[in-house]
Amino acid sequence: DTAVSQTPKYLVTQMGNDKSIKCEQNLGHDTMYWYKQDSKKFLKIMFSYNNKELIINETVPNRFSPKSPDKAHLNLHINSLELGDSAVYFCASSQVLDSYTIYFGEGSWLTVV
Amino acid sequence: DAKTTQPPSMDCAEGRAANLPCNHSTISGNEYVYWYRQIHSQGPQYIIHGLKNNETNEMASLIITEDRKSSTLILPHATLRDTAVYYCIVRVWGEYGNKLAFGAGTILRVKS
């Protein structure tokens, strides 16, 4: 069983479209995250949720809206996609908010054309 | 937040120990050193962490200098599957919880 799974794995879309990436964790963790890895391979946190409550929002444009229907799911919706949004997006989870171990999904490769 | 400096790349022969250095000269007293790795096309994977004592687990050993300004991750018997980018991270724990700040890391190439 995959601990943190995200779909789709690959997504190619046109500028201006709206798209969503879904994430689910079956580890029973309280905290979930979205990270973005850009073309230079730097990995940066975007959001974190703890028990469905938004904890971290790292100056991400309003076009990015995370939604956590329950603590096992954290979806990322992106409006009006721009070329600069092309990146790999990683979902992750940890047992609690300050756990030292974060479990990452395999990533979603988003290409905006 | 303390910053880390790592060499951009290293090579290691298969079966030999891989020693990956990390400098974190501005680390504060309550900050931990974490190591993660990212194998190509996968998400990052936790390896080990420590505060000031040396640590060992099934994957690796972590040696932290007495002044805590640098550390070394040791993979005792590197295999081809250990080829990855290794990130040394000083934990940033802000008011709103756990934020890991990943730098450029070290590309470790294990060669047969």
Kindly report, residue by residue over A5-48, the tens digit of the pLDDT. Answer: 999 999 999 999 999 999 999 999 999 999 999 888 888 889 98
Q: Do B97 and A43 make contact, defined as CB atoms within 8 angstroms?
A: no
Q: What is the pLDDT of residues A58-100, one digit of tens each?
A: 878 999 999 999 999 999 999 999 999 999 999 999 988 777 7
DSSP structural state of residue B66 = T
Confidence of residue B94 (pLDDT cuts 50, 70, 90): low
Q: What is the pLDDT of residues A49-60, one digit of tens each?
A: 988 888 888 878
Q: What is the dihedral of CA B86, B88, B93, B99, to 10 degrees?
A: -30
Residues of A contacting chain B (CB within 8 angstroms): 4, 31, 41-45, 48, 50, 55-56, 58, 90, 92, 94, 97-107
* Mutation for B interface: A34, A56, A100, most B CBs within 10 A: A100
What's the mean pLDDT in B33-37?
94
Q: Do A106 and B96 make contact, defined as CB atoms within 8 angstroms?
A: no
**Minimal CA–CA distance to A72: which of A99, A55, A49?**
A49
What is the DSSP annotation of B69-87? SEEEEEETT--GGG-EEEE
Q: Do A92 and B43 make contact, defined as CB atoms within 8 angstroms?
A: yes
